[in-house]
């Protein structure tokens, strides 16, 4: 049975033509290096993106997982604050194959300014050169470093939210599973923005967008194959690679899950919230009508993007206990 796609909101559908060049190359081992370079050129360094905002930018090199390379992180903090304050531990997206932490600086800058929190923005190794478990282990190692250095960072280790969008949202969910299963660190919440969590690509939504939108079925298959190789879609996949594979979603920190109705991750993300609720856990789910993948970054002035940003911030305030 074929399933017609949920249409993009007419107000933002024209933006897709500008976002996706007609001659955009597919994700293949040959094109990925060039796509990475092109994406890197789209986003300025963190210091340039912050500009004269009252936020300090610190670039750090920290230890990676045992036996693995060191990690690069960026720390954004209010220029003047009295700690300890909550921390947002952010993981960037890019389908596991591309992307860089600088792409999320505008999102994090807005939250640092509004909530008076510290943001730690981690870089991780990318597939296919570094398949699972390299990306998630890098992200978990960065979280451990953040907690271990709470005093220096002037953060409250009891108020940490792990967050990310797309592949970063999937990695954030996986880090939350690892933290639960390895006995810590304790997390206050997980902010999962259109998270990439299911390698099987068997949902209705995963089949509705071949060649359509900012993240297509073909791109998603390429991303999972890069991360997992021939294991993608088989029974031999770890929940720390694809969190939808987790048999047990109990004991997780409260989740905020956001997704568009017109994108491939709609059904897997909705199911993840349903399964958390089934364990008696806490989840807040928002499915934004007519929204395509990454809508808030691509069309930030769209009314639904503004509503989504305000809703996220509301949840963060409640989870972190920050004053208005």
For 218-265, what is each residue's pLDDT tens digit?
Answer: 999 999 999 999 999 999 999 999 999 999 999 999 999 999 999 999
Count other Cβ atoms within 10 Å, centred on residue 144: 16
Cα–Cα dist 258/289, whole Å:
11
For the domain with range 13-320, which CATH number is right: 1.20.1250.20, 3.40.718.10, 3.30.230.70, 3.40.50.1820? 3.40.50.1820
What is the predicted pLDDT for the residue at 306?
97
If pLDDT is split at 50, 70 and 90, which confidence band does 324 have? low
Question: How do the domains of the chain map onto residue ranges?
Answer: 13-320
Q: Is the pLDDT of residue 183 over 60?
A: yes
Of 127 and 40, more confident: 127
Residue pointed to by tokens 């996706």: 20
Q: At 286, phi and psi to the nearest 5?
A: -130, 120
Q: At 156, phi and psi to the nearest 5?
A: -95, 110
pTM, 2 dp? 0.97
Structure tokens at 271: 């199911």
Q: What is the tens place of the pLDDT at every residue in 76-94? A: 999 999 889 999 999 999 9
Alpha helices in the chain (DSSP H): 13-19, 32-42, 46-50, 105-115, 134-148, 150-153, 167-181, 204-207, 217-228, 266-278, 295-298, 303-320
Q: Is the pLDDT of residue 270 over 80?
A: yes
DSSP sequence for 9-28:
PTTTHHHHHHHS-TTPPP--
The answer to whether 210 touches 222, Cβ cutoff 8 Å, is: no
The answer to whether 56 touches 77, Cβ cutoff 8 Å, is: yes
What's the sign of the alpha-carbon dihedral 191, 196, 200, 203? positive
What is the predicted pLDDT for the residue at 18?
85
User: By 3-state DSSP, what share of the chain in percent is helix, strand and coil, each rounded to 5?
Assistant: 40, 15, 45
What is the predicted pLDDT for the residue at 275?
98
Q: Is 77 helix (H, G, I), strand (E, B) or coil?
A: strand
What is the predicted pLDDT for the residue at 35?
92
Cα–Cα dist 305/301, whole Å:
7
Residue pointed to by tokens 């304050």: 85
Q: What is the tens place of the pLDDT at every residue in 128-182? A: 999 999 999 999 999 999 999 999 999 999 999 999 999 999 999 999 999 999 9
Of 68, 67, 59, 138, the residue nearest 96 (C-alpha): 138
Q: What is the tens place of the pLDDT at every residue in 6-58? A: 999 999 998 888 888 777 889 998 999 999 998 888 899 999 999 999 999 99
Average pLDDT over residues 280-294: 98
The answer to whether 262 touches 275, Cβ cutoff 8 Å, is: no
Of 66, 77, 152, the residue nearest 120 (C-alpha): 77
What is the predicted pLDDT for the residue at 65?
98
What is the predicted pLDDT for the residue at 323?
62
């Amino acid at each position: 049975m074929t399933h017609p796609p949920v249409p993009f909101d007419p107000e933002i559908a024209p933006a897709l033509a500008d976002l996706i060049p007609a001659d955009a190359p597919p994700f293949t081992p040959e094109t990925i290096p060039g796509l990475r370079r092109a994406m890197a050129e789209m986003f300025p360094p963190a210091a340039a993106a912050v500009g004269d905002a009252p936020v300090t930018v610190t670039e750090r090199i920290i230890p990676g997982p045992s036996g693995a390379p060191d990690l690069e992180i960026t720390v954004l903090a209010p220029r003047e604050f009295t700690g300890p304050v909550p921390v947002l531990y952010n993981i960037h997206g890019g389908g596991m194959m591309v992307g860089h932490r600088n792409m999320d600086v505008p999102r994090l800058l807005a939250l640092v300014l509004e909530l008076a929190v510290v943001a730690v923005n981690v870089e991780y190794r990318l597939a296919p050169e570094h398949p699972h478990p390299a990306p998630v282990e890098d992200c978990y190692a960065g979280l451990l470093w953040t907690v271990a250095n709470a005093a220096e960072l002037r953060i409250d280790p009891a108020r940490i939210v792990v967050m990310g969008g797309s592949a970063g949202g999937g990695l954030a969910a996986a880090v939350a599973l690892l933290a639960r299963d390895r006995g810590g660190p304790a997390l206050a919440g997980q902010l999962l923005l259109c998270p990439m969590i299911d390698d099987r690509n068997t949902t209705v939504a995963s089949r509705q967008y071949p060649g359509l939108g900012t993240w297509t079925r073909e791109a998603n298959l390429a991303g999972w194959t890069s991360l997992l190789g021939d294991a993608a879609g088989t029974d031999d996949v770890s929940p720390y690679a694809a969190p939808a594979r987790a048999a047990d979603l109990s004991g997780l920190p409260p989740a905020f899950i956001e997704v568009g109705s017109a994108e491939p991750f709609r059904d897997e993300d909705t199911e993840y919230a349903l399964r958390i609720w089934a364990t008696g856990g806490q989840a807040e789910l928002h499915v934004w009508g007519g929204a395509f993948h990454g809508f808030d970054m691509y069309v930030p002035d769209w009314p639904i993007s503004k509503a989504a940003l305000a809703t996220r911030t509301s949840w963060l305030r409640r989870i972190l206990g920050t004053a208005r």
